[in-house]
Amino acid sequence: MSASPLRIGVVGLGRLGKRHAENLAYRVSGAALVAVCSPVEAERMWARETLPAPRVYDDYRALLDDRDVDAVWLVTPSALHAQQIIDALRAGKHVFCEKPLSLDFAECERVIEEAQRHPQLQATIGFMRRFDPSYRNAFEKIEAGAIGRPFMVRSQTCDQNDPEGFFVRFAPTSGGIFLDCTVHDIDVARWLLGMPKAKRVYASGVVALHEGLREFGDVDNGVAICEFEGGRLAMFYASRTLAHGNDTGSEVIGTAGALYIGRNPRANRVEIADASGIRNECAPTFFDRFEEAFLCEAQAFVAAVREGRQSGATLADAMEATRIGYALRESLASGRAVDL
């Protein structure tokens, strides 16, 4: 393993970017947060006050020119990911990039071609569920044969309803519910089923609450079936309208048993017994639910780069997830099954 720490520059300091920056600054052994970059003055101010003296850039190009940065951590708008990854690789930096790789399939291919020219650099897309301790535990149980041969995954990404429908404003650029949310479930399903390729998908959905989505052909509740090679299946559900919290979890069914991951999104270990019954409160957001996953993901990336190996989802994995997500969107629009 490399003796010196991996020197990281975080690009993008929105809500999730801040969290990544704090993890990298204080909680990831072997990492040194040496630079941040944001076009927003308030975010740069936050970095100066909160983080341990990083260099603060307002321009991505300048950060790439910083020779003390070994790796960039992209927490930027989805539309920028592909080109930013390419630029980082050309600048000789390792890349961690939040999902999705791109909403455009041709762009995915362009990034992968570029990456192939830099085999010494790591590039990973942030499908953090692979690092969540419970998902990891399930993965290990499957590897150990606990449920026989896994043949089906049911997976969901469901947000608590935002009565103000803030996310509707992102509908024009989010790629729609399947590329924005279900892309996580697609990666989880492939990861737990042995990385199969998809053969055919079908999707459907409804607008339950947020009428503003209709003009973009989007829905606030979407469902899908995905058939993989080799007799493997997945069912997906994504929602923007749950009442009880962020209810994101998965189920893997095998020939000798099944595993449920996060079936009840408990906020903590407290149960309340009162006139309404016995209940637990639920994690309100995916930040709360996946706080530990984001940290473990960062630790794994840093360790992997220092040890010269891959960790987490490859660019090819991310491209396949995008390819499937695209097909789901197409199916939703056409009302027909889509062959891949």
Within residues 263-302, the interface with a copy of itself by CB under 8 A covers 263-282
Q: Residue 134: exposed, middle, or buried by beta-carbon count in 10 A (0-12, 13-18, 19+)?
A: middle
Residues 6+ apart with CB under 8 A from 176: 216, 217, 218, 219, 329, 332
| Minimal distance, residue 104 CB to a copy of itself, in Å | 26
Q: Which stretch binds a copy of itself (CB under 8 A): 12-20, 87-95, 170-178, 331-339?
A: 331-339
CB nearer to a copy of itself: pick between 85 and 332: 332
- Please count the CA atoms within 13 angstroms of the CA of 253 that sit on its side-chain side: 9
Q: Tokens 């909680």 appear where?
A: 27
Q: Should residue 333 be labelled a site residue for a copy of itself when binding is judged by CB under 8 A? A: no
Binders in 28-57 for a copy of itself, by CB under 8 A: 29
Cα 153 vs. chain centroid, distance in angstroms? 18
Residue 4 in the binding site for a copy of itself (CB under 8 A): no
83 near a copy of itself, judged by CB under 8 A: no
Quote the least distance from Cβ 135 to a copy of itself, whole Å: 8
| 243 near a copy of itself, judged by CB under 8 A | yes
Asked if 340 is part of the footprint of a copy of itself (rule: CB under 8 A), the reply reads no
Q: Which of 16, 112, 253, 304 binds a copy of itself (CB under 8 A)?
A: 253
Binding mask 151-170 for a copy of itself (x = CB under 8 A): xx-x----------------
What span, in angstroms and rounded, lies between the C-alpha atoms of 335 and 217? 12
How far is residue 201's CA from residue 81's CA, in Å, rounded to a whole number?
26
Q: Which of residues 215-234 bind a copy of itself (CB under 8 A)?
A: 221, 223-225, 227, 231-233
246 contacts: CB under 8 Å, gap ≥ 6: 158, 159, 160, 265, 282, 283, 284, 285, 286, 288, 289
| 84, 124, 241, 299: which one binds a copy of itself (CB under 8 A) | 241
Element (H, E) at 56: strand 55-57
* Residue carrying the six token digits 């606030």: 220
Q: At closest approach, how far in Å is the CB of 205 from a copy of itself?
A: 7
For the segment 56-75, give every residue that binds a copy of itself (CB under 8 A).
none
**Hey, which residues between 98 and 137 contact a copy of itself (CB under 8 A)?**
133-134, 137
Which two three-digit tokens encode residue 340? 């891949």
Please state the separation of Cα 89 from the chain's center in Å: 21
> According to the binding rule CB under 8 A, does residue 200 interact with a copy of itself?
yes
